[in-house]
């Protein structure tokens, strides 16, 4: 059941329909929370790998500090890209959870209104 479609068609939702949608979103929230934990670990591992790679390249490089930083950056660019990608996935997962929470808050309001009407 798509509660949003019903609501936009002007249909009145029953308390049972609202509760089913809340249950669905709670299940989805649990799934996304588990996914977020995995994304968090991957992002942490990617950041660690990038920092390790950068530090090793920096130590091996010679020249001025700016030269060494530039060489280290060039040598660790793939790890940096992996780190940024993992971080972007983590932020996306966090936003997904915020969206689900907002939907749950809205449904709680709808549920209260349905109870008040019936």
d(CA 69, CA 63): 10
Question: Which of 11-25, 37-51, 101-115 has maximum average pLDDT?
Answer: 37-51
Q: Helical H runs in the chain?
A: 3-8, 15-60, 65-75, 77-117
d(CA 99, CA 91): 12
d(CA 55, CA 94): 30
Average pLDDT, the chain: 92
Is residue 4 scored above 70 in pLDDT? no
> Given this model, what pLDDT does residue 118 score?
74
pTM greater than the 0.75 cutoff: yes
> Given this model, what pLDDT does residue 113 score?
87
Write out pLDDT tens, residues 58-97: 999 999 999 999 999 999 999 999 999 999 999 999 999 9
> Given this model, what pLDDT does residue 115 score?
83
């Amino acid at each position: 059941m798509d509660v949003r479609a019903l609501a936009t068609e002007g249909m009145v939702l029953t308390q049972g329909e609202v509760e089913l949608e809340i249950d669905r979103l709670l299940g989805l929230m649990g799934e996304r929370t588990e996914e977020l934990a995995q994304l968090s670990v991957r992002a942490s591992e990617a950041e660690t790998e990038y920092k390790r790679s950068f530090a090793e390249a920096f130590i091996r490089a010679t020249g001025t500090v700016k030269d060494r930083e530039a060489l280290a950056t060039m040598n660790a660019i793939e790890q940096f890209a992996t780190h940024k990608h993992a971080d972007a996935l983590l932020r996306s997962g966090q936003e997904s959870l915020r969206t689900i929470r907002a939907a749950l808050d809205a449904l709680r309001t709808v549920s209260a209104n349905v109870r008040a009407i019936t």
